[in-house]
Amino acid sequence: MVSVQQAERIAAAIELPDWVLTKSASLVYTCFGPAADAFERSIKTNFPAQHAFVEAWMRAHSHPFAERLPYLNPWHGIASVLAYLALILALRVLSRGVGKLSCRTLGMVHNLGLHLLSLYMSLGLMISARAAGYSLWNNAAGTSPAEWRIAKLIWLFYVSKVVEWLDTVIMLLKQNYRQVTFLHVYHHTTIFVLWWVASLLAPGGESYYSAMVNSGVHVFMYGYYFLTLLFPSGMVRDVLNKFKFVITKGQMCQFTFNCVQSVYDLLWVPRDKLKYSSVLLHILFWYMISLLALFGNFLKRQKSSHRRADTAAASAATEDTMAKPCGHRTDGTRGKAGMTRVQLEKLKSEQAAELQRLTRESGNGKGQNVSVDTMARN
């Protein structure tokens, strides 16, 4: 196992620089800040009491690190969620006029970027937690320099949820409307809100575990998505298709681990020795339960749909290519070996047409002493 001293050196080497936070915040504010500020002013003007209450609550409950972390203004967060929902509605309408887009290059860049970012966050949280002397569970969100590293990674994880909204944009541009389900929208909006709460109230402590595990799952998930775009067909794609449901099961496993973590902290650890917010742990537990239920239902429906599709395909193949090879037929005639019913009926029709042609050419309107069934047996 890596010692605390070794972990400290590694964590310091890969620490997210403070200037990344300030520069990224400045860039984002330049693009979207004026609109978000206008939204906040409208709230303050129309709902002054509610605005004052939220501001007072934040001052009373915010973690000391929250002042140093950008993009934690609640009104900007609400504006972001509303903009995301409005974008979904707008793209559903506009994409029909634009037409179906491939988005292959955009998807590859997006998935590879999130794959690498998730790898950095997962390993960074693991090493930084070790450097901070964390145990597996029941950790406090402290204010030491080692925990500032963790707080920055928690903040980065929170901000990455906005980047993941591009998943939805790509789906809509490709007109894969069936993928933008209630589960998809619910998951992408609520997880952003909950990690805003965690970043504001306790960016560290027990939150490191959920962010670390989720990032670890996303390493494989976005890596899988990248490879499916890189190999749209062929042998590699056939292998990748076998892991389709493994991704969903992996997500459900992480939800289960998070449930176990919250149950351990809330029920096993004595209340006077609990180092993290019990309110946040309750929220974590019930949120994971909701995701387990929704993802479980999704997995069940997908498997049922695939079974129905496989059954229909097998039935069609049997009907089309596995008809009786026509030895003795039920009508007493003998078909040509290896021919299906469809092929035999087609042959009989062609032979009937040929018989009529010969009849016309011979001038014998009463027909010739030849039958279709006799020709079919030849």
188 is catalytic: no
Catalytic member of 63, 110, 115, 187: 187
Is residue 179 within 8 Å of 168, Cβ to Cβ?
A: no
User: What CA–CA distance (Å, rounded) separates 20 from 156?
Assistant: 10
Residue whose token pair is 């946040």: 280
CA distances from 139 to 7, 60, 94, 250, 260 (A): 17, 22, 48, 25, 15
Q: What are phi and psi of 308, to 5 degrees?
A: -65, -40
User: What CA–CA distance (Å, rounded) separates 95 from 192?
Assistant: 25
Is residue 39 within 8 Å of 75, Cβ to Cβ?
A: yes
Sign, CA dihedral 358-362-364-368, equals negative
Is residue 225 within 8 Å of 251, Cβ to Cβ?
A: no
Q: What are phi and psi of 115, to 5 degrees?
A: -60, -50
In three-state secondary structure terms, 99 is coil
Is residue 238 within 8 Å of 141, Cβ to Cβ?
A: no
DSSP for 37-77? HHHHHHHHHH-HHHHHHHHHHHHHH--GGGGGSSS--HHHH
Q: Spell out the residues 6+ positions from residue 276 whose beta carbon is closer than 8 angstroms to its own.
A: 138, 139, 140, 141, 202, 205, 206, 265
- Which pair of tokens denotes residue 373? 């069934």
Please give the positions annotated as active site. 187
